[in-house]
Amino acid sequence: MKKSYKFYIVDDDRISLNLMTRYLEKDGHTVSGYTSSSKALPEIIAQRPDCVVVDLMMPEIDGLELISQLRNKRSLDATKIVVVTAKSYEFDRKQAFSFGADSYIIKPVNPKTFVAQIVRTIKDQIEMAFWGVHGTLPVPSKNTNKYGGNTSCVSLDFSDSTLFIFDAGTGIKSLSDYLIAENRHLVDAKIFISHPHWDHINALPFFAPLFRQGSEIEICGPSHGDITMEQMISGQMDGVYFPIKIKEFSASISFRDIKEETLEINGKTIKTILLNHPGYCLGYRVEYKGRSVCYITDNELYPTGSQFYNRFYLQRLINFVKGADALIADATYQDSEYKAKIGWGHSTIGQVANLADKAAVKTLYLFHHDLDQTDADVDSKLETARALLAKKKSSTRCVAPKEKERFVI
């Protein structure tokens, strides 16, 4: 049974207040509201709602001052505060979070997603979405309609509007289209590149927020020797390979070279591990309030008995992904295909199922399908993985995600 929440809306625009009230009540929630922020304050304190929705530009007590006063009330510690405003400036968004807001939504709100976004803020959930699940080359055709033919791109959308993006294959264009449709033209995003092979970086220039003044985007990934991540990204946009140069981005862009290390970003912990793939390739583990997501793509796990089998590396990887809520893993080949693919830098279904089981991950997401594989081949890999896990009496679930499919963590 879906849980009902108690809301209080403060907005001096009566039309906006009524619209938001209608959306929330239609979804089964209880809503109170006031156009006067000074009169709303004592009512909020008395009612102790699950969530307060507040505008920024209001007479009497403005939105930031109201947030500050609410955050000074210990009785409202559990109450979430969501800013819904027409102010799209990054300065105002950052100020709202510094005063204690939990989420920031720009007007006009999208009636299709408004309620879900606010409820996700109350639950403090992470939305994980797949935008490209194939590897090497995009393969759009009637044979890939089910799972999609775009290359690697996965996003983690946090309730505080922080967006983590893993790789910038052709799937990032679908993510870009989604953000525009959701009226999220300005984003605060971290793009984590696993490695600079083409299918992981070549669609980055098609990510529309890069051309939006007010967006703040940091591109993180491994350097290669004396070549930095910034040089690698700008190198594919030097005017010869792509007509738009990196200096034409309007957003605030920064770069960070990372190795095996641990980062702290906006209350999220990001850990990295070197993967077994040609060149310098990183896997990522994101931890947030007891939940964890691992992104392990382009990684070769040699089978037991192989001359290249490395027990030490396998144990390191098991420890790295151990207990994860979600393991997104390179599962490029069926075991029967692998003999002809040894040394190509990718894993098989059997190897990945074994990894997920030994690490006791909750859900394994099959990822980075071979460019020659059709939907039927992916179905077959999923069936194989589930059978292997069942044979091991494993508690791990297995999913083959489709493009644009979203999961709540």
pLDDT in tens, 81-112: 999 999 988 789 889 999 999 999 989 998 98
Q: Are residues 164 and 266 in the same domain?
A: yes
**Cα separations in angstroms, 192 against 74, 223, 263, 288:** 37, 12, 12, 17
Q: Are residues 293 and 389 in the same domain?
A: yes
357 part of a folded domain:
yes
User: 128, 150, 215: which is closest to 180 by C-alpha?
Assistant: 215
Measured distance CA(22)–CA(183) in Å, rounded? 20
Measured distance CA(405)–CA(124) in Å, rounded? 20
Measured distance CA(347)–CA(25) in Å, rounded? 49
What are the pLDDT digits (tens) for 272-304? 999 999 999 999 999 999 999 999 999 999 877
Q: Are residues 169 and 74 in the same domain?
A: no
pLDDT band at 220 (very low <50, low <70, confident <90, very high): very high
Measured distance CA(81)–CA(135) in Å, rounded? 40
Residue type, 201: I
Angle (CA) 165-166-170 rounded to 5° is: 90
Q: Are residues 395 and 368 in the same domain?
A: yes
Query: In 216-351, where do the E strands start and end?
Result: 216-221, 252-257, 262-265, 268-274, 282-288, 291-296, 326-330
37 part of a folded domain:
yes
Give the pLDDT of residue 306.
Answer: 76
Give the pLDDT of residue 132.
Answer: 98
Q: Are residues 307 and 355 in the same domain?
A: yes
Instruction: Using the 3D structure, point to which of 68, 100, 123 is the last residue of a domain.
Output: 123
User: 163, 127, 171, 151: which is closest to 251 by C-alpha?
Assistant: 163
Q: Are residues 387 and 340 in the same domain?
A: yes
Give the pLDDT of residue 237.
Answer: 87
> Which residues form the domain of 224?
127-408
Q: Which residue has the tokens 């009230």?
A: 21
Q: Are residues 119 and 36 in the same domain?
A: yes
What are the pLDDT digits (tens) for 146-167? 999 999 999 999 988 899 999 9
Q: What percent of the chain has pLDDT over 90?
A: 81
Measured distance CA(197)–CA(186) in Å, rounded? 27
Q: Are residues 208 and 298 in the same domain?
A: yes
Mean pLDDT of 115-130: 94
216 part of a folded domain:
yes
1 part of a folded domain:
no
44 part of a folded domain:
yes
Torsion angle (degrees, nearest 10) of CA 70, 73, 76, 80: 30
Average pLDDT, the chain: 94
User: 96, 9, 19, 16: which is closest to 56 by C-alpha?
Assistant: 96
| Angle between the N-to-C axes of helices 37-47 and 63-71, in degrees from 0 to 180, rounded to the nearest 10 | 30
Q: Are residues 194 and 266 in the same domain?
A: yes
Q: Are residues 83 and 172 in the same domain?
A: no
Give the pLDDT of residue 281.
Answer: 96
Q: Which residues face 295 on adjacent strands?
A: 284, 328
Instruction: Report the predicted TM-score, pTM, of the whole model to 2 decimal places.
Output: 0.91
Residue 383 sits in a domain whose CATH number is 3.60.15.10
221 part of a folded domain:
yes
b/e burial code for range 240-266 (CB count within 10 A of at least 16 → b):
eeeeeebeebebebebeebeeeebeee
Instruction: Using the 3D structure, point to which of 123, 144, 163 is the last residue of a domain.
Output: 123
Instruction: Using the 3D structure, point to which of 107, 123, 139 is the last residue of a domain.
Output: 123
| Cβ count near 180 (within 10 Å) | 13
Q: How many domains are there within the chain?
A: 2
What are the pLDDT digits (tens) for 340-385? 888 788 999 999 999 999 999 999 999 999 999 999 999 999 999 9
Mean pLDDT of 223-245: 88
Residue 26 sits in a domain whose CATH number is 3.40.50.2300
